[in-house]
Amino acid sequence: MAIPELMAFIAILLLRGIVRLPSLHDAWSAKLGPPLINRIMARNRFKDIIQHLRFDDKDTRGERVATDRFAAISDVWGSFVANCITSYNPGRHITIDEQLFPTKTRCCFLQYIATKPDKFGIKFCVACDLKSKYVCKIIPYLGKDPSRPPGERLSENVVMKLMEPFMDEGRTVTTDNFFTSLSLARRLHSRKTTLLGTVNKIRRELPDSAKKNLAREEFSTQVFSTSGATLTVYVPKRKKTVCLLSSVHSVVETEATRKKKPNTVTDYNSMKCGVDVMDQMVRKYTVRSGTRRWPVAVFYNMIDIAALNAHVLYQACTGVKERRVDFLLELANELAQSHMAAKEVNEQNLQQQPPTPDVGKRALCQVKCCCRKNRATKRCMYCDKFACGKCIKEVWQCQKCSQNLY
């Protein structure tokens, strides 16, 4: 498969994500499917590529799996993540959260999260720019990591890996209670990066008065301070407390409203939604389809994120505000242009060939969809195969090529 054909294959995936149809065959339907798909590629060729889609050398996979569970797609994935890092300079605020890509394919790192809408899937840890929703860096969760230093928390290790390319530039990281800890805030502060996030109440570094379920008044605020960080304990309603750790706010102020929200809570509410909004945008025009192979499922997620990042880069470089659906249509059209041009040249060359064999020669029918051993003197104008009178649907066109085209 040449590169133009691979680009055309990705273009069809994008078109199928825009126009959701019940089955694969409906995409090539004259009544339901987009007309552009029929002109890009035949349905049987698309199914053949899907069936044989691989991302590594199977002969050497056994050696690489011993040290890398992601070996079946790690090379392609590494190139994709490197391009995401180098292609965009994120803003001041970065959100880190988890993404669960829904799939039920068999793999050793499949996750079950009951709180997610889709319970099963492959979990990714994502660093996303708050303003543009650009995916700056993404790491798959593969289970126990032998390269993690002993005694280091998994959450700290993930955040430091995600933020490594963006340190020492005065950025602010927003996390949830799984990632936030005092030791992480101090490590980030040493790299000129601040942290804001909710804290789990079982953390050891929290003071005892913050852990105890005291009878606090509604809309009350309690502030604890340590070197380089402040802890805010806010009561939004009875019998519920919210703990926020911040190395951004040296002074905590409350609003002059009935709820008396502190500024740490207000800032967290405005900065926590980066990854969640990104995931909603990706799922709206997802190329995800049913598959039994987890590398293909990861490839679908990679195409979704790449299309979203491409839209952000297009708007940042050109200054044109364009709807995502219009951008995806233009992107699919541009990806398929070179393959469609080569296809048209090939069809013109086939039409210029003599449609009949040499004088006095009759060949066996090569189509054999309506006959067994009929003789033929004519060729199909698309596949250049000999076709008898029963196997020809229109002038110089066999029935198989007619089904693939229409």
pLDDT reported for residue 354: 46
pLDDT at 141 over 70: yes
Element (H, E) at 387: strand 386-387
- Of the pLDDT bands very low, low, confident and very high (cuts 50, 70, 90), residue 193 is very high
Which amino acid appears at position 169 of this protein? E
- Of the pLDDT bands very low, low, confident and very high (cuts 50, 70, 90), residue 405 is low
pLDDT at 217 over 80: yes
Task: Give long-range contacts, CB 8 A cutoff, 24+ apart: 109-115.
Answer: 109/69, 109/140, 109/141, 109/142, 109/143, 110/294, 111/141
For 44-63, what is each residue's pLDDT tens digit?
999 999 999 999 998 999 89
pLDDT reported for residue 376: 84
pTM over 0.85: no
pLDDT reported for residue 390: 83
User: What CA–CA distances, in Å, run from 323 to 107, 316, 329?
Assistant: 36, 14, 10
Mean local confidence (pLDDT), 339-346: 88
pLDDT reported for residue 213: 59
Proportion of the chain above pLDDT 90, given as a percent: 63
Of the two residues 179 and 361, the one the predictor is more confident about is 179
Mean pLDDT for the chain overall:
89
